[in-house]
Amino acid sequence: MKEQQNLMRTIFKYAITFTILGLLFCSCSKPDDLCGIVTNGDVEWNDYRGDYDYYLIVDGERRYVTEKIYSQYAIGESVCLYY
């Protein structure tokens, strides 16, 4: 009976440990999504690619976006950027 209780405690400890580690790795592996109001936009020439890079500034945070997304939003509009 005592051996069975020790075994159950050990299994429980490992289950909790692996659950916590799994949550930490999953939550840290995804880039942050960003929702807010477009406060500005920016375009820069990229010499390496020979093309433009497009950025939206959402609540003061500058994020790279595609040209299509850049052209869809105006200053003051609400946006959610998913990565």
CA–CA separation, 48 and 31 (whole Å)? 25
C-beta of residue 34 within 8 angstroms of C-beta of residue 80? yes
Question: How confident is the model over 51-76, as pLDDT tens digits?
Answer: 999 999 999 999 999 999 999 999 99
Average pLDDT of every residue of the chain: 83
In this predicted structure, the answer to whether residue 83 has a pLDDT above a threshold of 80 is no
CA distances for 26 relative to 8, 20, 23, 29, angstroms: 27, 10, 5, 5
List, for residues 19-55, the tens digit of each pLDDT value.
665 555 554 445 678 899 999 999 999 999 999 999 9
At 5 the pLDDT is 79
* Residue 4: predicted pLDDT: 80
